[in-house]
Amino acid sequence: MLSPAVNQAIQAALQGRWEEAVEYNLTVLETSPQDIDALNRLAKAYKEVGKLSLAKKIYQQVLALDRYNTIAQKNLDKLASTKTPSSSLNHTVTSSAFLEEPGKTKTVKLTKIADTQILNNLTSAQPVNLVVKIHTIIVTTTDHTYLGTLPDDLTHRLIRFIKAGNKYTAIVRTAQTGNLTILIRELSRSKRLLHTPSFPSPKVSDTGLNTLSQ
């Protein structure tokens, strides 16, 4: 079971409250100075508030404790090519990313989700990939780390729509232990489905869906 300070650190990060995330993770580290997850979260928070040198220092500390830690290594590589703080851009994206449009957006709770350690490193409004398989759609990070799968009913619908030419994007909405939700947004609609919403309300009929099975 996660301690209150760990839960507060995770929630602060998910809500983009990075200054608070720094403080909560420092609190965790006071009693557990070699907590790898807390160190990675702290480095992420430092990065988001623009303290890149501190972020690098903490990631290097993680690698000193765990030389094969992929989270620290990947983020160090990213920081090596970062010239300006990204926090202002991140807050701009976060503030507008969750605007919903009837028929074009849907919040989805994923199934078969990844381990808690992976979920703890996700942030609100973080872009994710929708990867179409034969009978499923899996969700991954942009560096292809598995996060979960879409529910079966939505999977069957979106596979047909994607094959017909629709385009979609998705971001993390909430990530907690045992629970991960994403927001899927329709980017463009094929001519065959011009009048068929991707995510209709229960009272709206699918006027063009039958054509996909013909």
Residue 103's pLDDT is what?
82
CATH superfamily of this structure's domain 4-89: Tetratricopeptide repeat domain (1.25.40.10)
The architecture CATH gives domain 98-213: 2-Layer Sandwich (3.30)
For residue range 99-148, list pLDDT tens digits in order.
667 888 889 999 999 888 788 778 777 888 999 988 899 999 888 889 99
Cβ atoms 119, 177 nearer than 8 A: yes
Selection from 182, 108, 106, 212 nearest residue 152 by Cα:
108
The reply to whether domains 4-89 and 98-213 share a CATH topology is no
Enumerate the domain spans of the chain: 4-89, 98-213
Mean predicted confidence (pLDDT) in 53-68: 92
Q: Does the pTM exceed 0.75?
A: no
Residue 75's pLDDT is what?
87
Token pair in block for residue 140: 């991954």
Alpha helices by DSSP H, 112-186: 116-119, 152-164
